[in-house]
Amino acid sequence: MALGSSLDRRLGGSFLERLQDNEKDALIIHAVFAAFCVFMLIVPVHPKIGVRLLALVILYNLIMPLWGLIRRDRSLIQLWLFALILSLLQVFPDWFLSHQLGVLVFPDDGCFKIGTVSGYMAGLWAVPIFIIVFIGERVYIRHSKPAAYGAVALISLIIFVGSEQTLWMLPSWYAQNVLMIGHVAVYIIVPEILLGLAAYFAYQHVTRLSHWYKFPAAFSVMLFYLGSAVFFYFLIEKITIL
């Protein structure tokens, strides 16, 4: 037992020692934030789930730039800003899918609505986008560009499919009137992987440019995701049925 514990400590220490400071910061922040989210979402408190999600989204989008300022980490702030801009724009695809196609539902969760979309969604997308792009950048630095895109595709699949499979239980959004695997809408799987890849690609091309370039880059990613979602919805839900 002592030998096993010693080996575990050495392996854990070796892993942490290999991480750069900004990687350690990101790991700690997201681990603590995830634990806090679980606590806030499962503890039976008075505010409805939408209000709690809104509070968590606001907290995350305050912590990230604040931590970047404290650590004087310009790259962290740059990535957070891009992720937030893209998150704000992601309201439009969610709005289209819920209002126009009627395949996405945002129940009455206590949060204000932007059209048919719960307000917290405007900032919630920033969390997975930040994580996906950050991991892609780390893999690129340590390995290669193909490895980075492979990692981005895999992490996008895990995060987005995991969200679709679990968040309906809160209850948050859920899919309806489409082909499903468990609680995951089949048509949206590929578009969500493409979203992660497009976000990573776009950020790579604006990371060293002025902040003004982040908006058109994020806008292009949003349009690409919306088009992909509509295409795969049409392909899977309409053409395959025929």
pLDDT digits (tens, 9 = 90+) for 92-146: 999 999 999 999 999 988 899 999 999 999 999 999 999 999 999 999 988 899 9
Which H or E element spans position 4? helix 2-18
Cα separation, 94 vs 170, in Å, equals: 18
Residue % of the chain over a pLDDT of 70:
88
Cα separation, 123 vs 134, in Å, equals: 17
Count of positions (residues) in the chain: 242
Mean pLDDT of the chain: 87
CB 172 within 8 A of CB 94: no
pLDDT digits (tens, 9 = 90+) for 178-200: 999 988 999 999 999 999 999 99
CB 183 within 8 A of CB 165: yes
Nearest to 198 by CA among 66, 74, 93: 93
Output the pLDDT for position 168: 67
